[in-house]
Amino acid sequence: MSETEMLLKGYGVTLAEFFYRMPDYRSVLNSFVWQDYDQAPDHPRLFGFVEFWQAEMDGPLHSVRFTHRKLIAPGQWRHVTGEFTLH
């Protein structure tokens, strides 16, 4: 699916910052920034990545902070099938 198709189907950009503990030094926090197209309010890709992190990564998550923004709203785009020119 192309970016335009995704945006027209309601996807938006989700940006998440993951704070996790270092595997060898549990008192040290590190951060990782993740960005992808996702659908609000369910955020299936974000929660899928969180599940992947918890299953596969050694550093346990401390917290996740995220934001979501739709790039195209219904009132900002419209499909035009014809154009009439008057004088």
CA end-to-end span of the chain: 41
Q: Is the pLDDT of residue 64 over 90?
A: yes
Could you give the CA distance from residue 84 to residue 74 in angstroms, rounded to a whole number?
23
pLDDT mean over 53-68: 94
**In-domain check, residue 84:** no
Q: What is the pLDDT of residue 42?
A: 92
Q: Is the predicted pLDDT of residue 78 greater than 70, yes or no?
A: no
**What's the number of domains the chain is made of?**
1
CB atoms inside a 10 Å sphere around CB 70: 14
* Domain span at 19: 3-69
Q: Is residue 50 part of a domain?
A: yes
Does 26 reside within a domain? yes
Is 56 inside any structural domain? Answer: yes
Asked if residue 41 belongs to a domain, the reply is yes
pLDDT tens-digit profile of 24-48? Answer: 998 999 999 999 999 988 999 999 9
Say how far apart CA 72 and CA 29 lie, in whole Å.
Answer: 36
Can you name the residues that pair with 33 across neighbouring β-strands? 17
Is residue 79 one of the residues assigned to a domain?
no
Helix (H) or strand (E) holding 47: helix 44-56
Q: Would you say residue 76 lies in a domain?
A: no
